[in-house]
Amino acid sequence: MTAELLQGCSTCTACALAYTRQMVVIARGNPNAELMLIGEAPGAREDATGLPFVGRSGQALDRLLSDVGFDLERDLYVCNAVKCRPPNNRRPKRAELAACRPWLDRQLELVDPDVIVLAGATAVEAILGIKGGMSQLRGRWQHWNQRAVMPVFHPSYLLRNPSDAPGAPLDLTRGDLSAVRRRLCER
């Protein structure tokens, strides 16, 4: 993460979320990774620690990523479409997504990933401009700015659907992340 991104983002007041956040949540992982994972927005634990995907959802995601062979520190860069926590974990508003987009664009420019994973419908809408149910969108490769993009269920949805049965959301997501891993390995 560059000092410019860290400094600019940490002091940003471009939308109303600046006035309810505790910490700006920018990223974790490797800024030189070939894979970038983008989620929706920070939750309570992320707001308290300043790190994305570190609460229960994040831990569930980490387990799945590890299951399919990713090294969490080396192989990916993790961030959110919106860097400050929306009150009561509501979905970010369109204006908040728009206000925060320059920071996401800067991260995409700096990391320059070959493959992007979009976790949940908000991230899919933010990057691909597609609205829809994740059951239809997940698991299908998309393309954005010459990059391969894989939409997956948001890990908070997986926490609400904990069955590990074949064909259940957890199993499908493990398959989607395996496809991402294969794609990166084949390059």
List contacts with ligand SF4 (CB under 6 A): 9, 12-15, 17-18, 24, 82-84, 96, 99-100, 103
CB of 28 to ligand SF4, least distance (A): 16
CB of 22 to ligand SF4, least distance (A): 12
CB of 83 to ligand SF4, least distance (A): 4
**Residue 80 or 173 with smaller CB distance to ligand SF4:** 80
CB of 46 to ligand SF4, least distance (A): 12
Quick one: 94 exposed, middle or buried, by C-beta within 10 A (0-12, 13-18, 19+)? exposed
**Residue 42 or 58 with smaller CB distance to ligand SF4:** 42
**Residue 83 or 138 with smaller CB distance to ligand SF4:** 83
Three-state SS string across the chain, please?
A: CCHHHHHHHHCCCCCHHHHCCCCCCCCEECCCCCEEEEECCCCHHHHHHCCCCCCHHHHHHHHHHHHCCCCCCCCEEEEECCCCCCHHHCCCCHHHHHHHHHHHHHHHHHHCCCEEEEECHHHHHHHHCCCCCHHHHCCCCEEECCEEEEEECCHHHHHHCCCCCCCCHHHHHHHHHHHHHHHHHHC
CB of 18 to ligand SF4, least distance (A): 4
**Residue 100 or 119 with smaller CB distance to ligand SF4:** 100
